[in-house]
A and B are shown apart, each in its own frame.
Chain A
């Protein structure tokens, strides 16, 4: 990472923490976007609490999708699951044509308003990128490598844990990064169905025609997503170095 890149990322992190912990420090700047009589700093709840609940919703949904998706990818790449490989590939492709918002909106009439439909939608939509990338990772392990592991007398389980999973880790992380990016975005929209996330700030701004709220919420959500994305990229790089790529 270049020194400039590092400085920019650190500056982004400082700005994010500052915006969330001490929003009033930006009152003067945000006042530029208000109409007379409008408050310039979000005043309908704690930004810190919204940020934490946004992150918790995303983390728990994505953890669940990662468990199931990686498990499924392992299953269809084993000899006993190979019959399900073509259909699961095709399903992963078709699933991507479903917009995340549609999944979210369809969960509401079935599960009611609040956090539950958002969690379910994030979980369902998070499955696809992780599954697709894990599948790509597991099926791109070179046959000579698995043969060598077999020759060394490793059992199938040992080969999976000791060879195949570590080699496909960078691609799995890439899938996790994609799913998390989409989940952060969809969770923000989840506030339209009453999930306590940072989207609330933006929606409140849109409903009252207060651009200051929209900008404030938008910048926080954007910084959060970009920084988490960068974190994943760094993690992938270190994993790739570990397996000698």
Chain B
């Protein structure tokens, strides 16, 4: 009975109203159709000329693409179930990526190894429109933590399979990768070392400092003010200012140079990233501990737990969701900030970003920026799910 009523209701809804977001999605996608789908460049640096979707693809593929996109957009504009919108936008995104690969294959001249096929503004708009639709459907469905982790893993496997299959190999960004694959993996490793290393250091220092701030209220405002000021200092300034003392330490402290401390390179980057990350960890540890119900802590005291036992078995587990929220913030922040390390010789994916900006080679910038964004996004999803899971555990 209930379902019949709901179906009837939703049916009249469809007749009465369109989905306004779907109208925006459609407008963006249609604009994307009229802009270049791919860019043909005589070499990797020249601006190149845009090619629209129907000229870049074989006729059968262009027709299939237009029909497919049309049906996705119809689903976008109607008020239908979120699952259907999710499936349609997901399939649409997959199709756009595969079509870009097909267009690059079709457009690449056989005998010209200098020519490059870049992703055009139209493709970006199509991806943006479909990603908007996907995001909207996902946020309305409000999936649980395990579903989010599962979806992330699924998306990674699918994208990995596309990259592995070689479908996109004719694309300019993958040619940039092809000509510097060893450097790419080395800088990716360095990027991860910087981001995760600084987060580990900051957690190791920040959680005890936060606990101390909770216990001794006298040091609270001083520590928080200092860390607040550190976080306000622009990254390039902090990275730069640290060069002087670290160069001094390297020159004057015996053994410092052998453990890798020097004025430029990884050491100032690691110190700066750790300093930036301290405030969220300390503040969230403090907030998490302060926010606990006094009755809980009193009950633990009544059970005869020592101060250390209370902290370890009661207070920290209960404050864990808030502490993890701080760690999520710094992980996402430091994955992004690690790109700046390249400016002071610290390496990381920023190397490609700044090289690319210097040469106005957008695909080289993308080679550095795209993995950075993907890493930050994956870290945000994963830690967000862990936070929900630990909050569930703290409640039971």
> Digit string of B328-356 for contact with A (CB within 8 Å is 1, else 0)?
00001001110110011000001001101
Instruction: Give the size range of B's interface with the partner.
Output: 35 or more
CA distance A221 to B233 in the complex (A): 8
Closest-by-CB residue of B relative to A108 is: B357
- B244 lies within 8 A of A214 (CB): yes
A126 at the interface (CB under 8 A from B): no
- A226 lies within 8 A of B139 (CB): no
CA distance A210 to B3 in the complex (A): 74
Stretch at the interface among B102-110, B178-186, B235-243: B235-243
- A229 lies within 8 A of B232 (CB): yes
B21 at the interface (CB under 8 A from A): yes
Give the residues in chain B near A93, CB-CB below 8 Å.
380
- A109 lies within 8 A of B136 (CB): no
Identify 14 residue pairs between A and B in the complex whose beta-carbon atoms are under 8 Å apart, listed by A's number: A83-B21, A87-B132, A96-B380, A98-B336, A99-B335, A99-B336, A105-B368, A109-B360, A184-B234, A206-B240, A215-B244, A222-B233, A226-B229, A226-B233
B223 at the interface (CB under 8 A from A): no
A121 CB → nearest B CB, Å: 11
Identify which of B236, B243, B360 gathers the most chain A CB atoms within 10 Å of its CB.
B236
Interface residues of B in 202-234 (CB under 8 A from A): 229, 232-234
CA distance A211 to B132 in the complex (A): 46
A55 at the interface (CB under 8 A from B): no
Give the residues in chain A near B356, CB-CB below 8 Å.
105, 109
Stretch at the interface among B155-163, B306-314, B371-379: B371-379
A85 CB → nearest B CB, Å: 9
Interface residues of B in 262-277 (CB under 8 A from A): 263-264
Give the residues in chain B near A96, CB-CB below 8 Å.
332, 380
Closest-by-CB residue of A relative to B377 is: A97
| Contacts known (A97-B377, A189-B340, A226-B229); A86 close to B236, Cβ less than 8 A | no
- B361 lies within 8 A of A90 (CB): no
- B373 lies within 8 A of A102 (CB): yes
CA distance A106 to B372 in the complex (A): 13
A31 CB → nearest B CB, Å: 13
CA distance A188 to B239 in the complex (A): 12
CA distance A229 to B353 in the complex (A): 29
A89 at the interface (CB under 8 A from B): yes
CA distance A205 to B236 in the complex (A): 12
Closest-by-CB residue of B relative to A112 is: B360
- B234 lies within 8 A of A188 (CB): yes
| Contacts known (A83-B20, A90-B135, A94-B377); A101 close to B244, Cβ less than 8 A | no
B182 CB → nearest A CB, Å: 22
| Contact among A94, A104, A218, A226 with B240 in the assembled complex (CB-CB below 8 Å) | A218
CA distance A189 to B238 in the complex (A): 12
- B373 lies within 8 A of A83 (CB): no
Give the residues in chain A near B24, CB-CB below 8 Å.
84
CA distance A109 to B368 in the complex (A): 14
- B244 lies within 8 A of A211 (CB): yes
A50 at the interface (CB under 8 A from B): no
| Contact among A90, A105, A189, A211 with B243 in the assembled complex (CB-CB below 8 Å) | A211
- A97 lies within 8 A of B380 (CB): yes
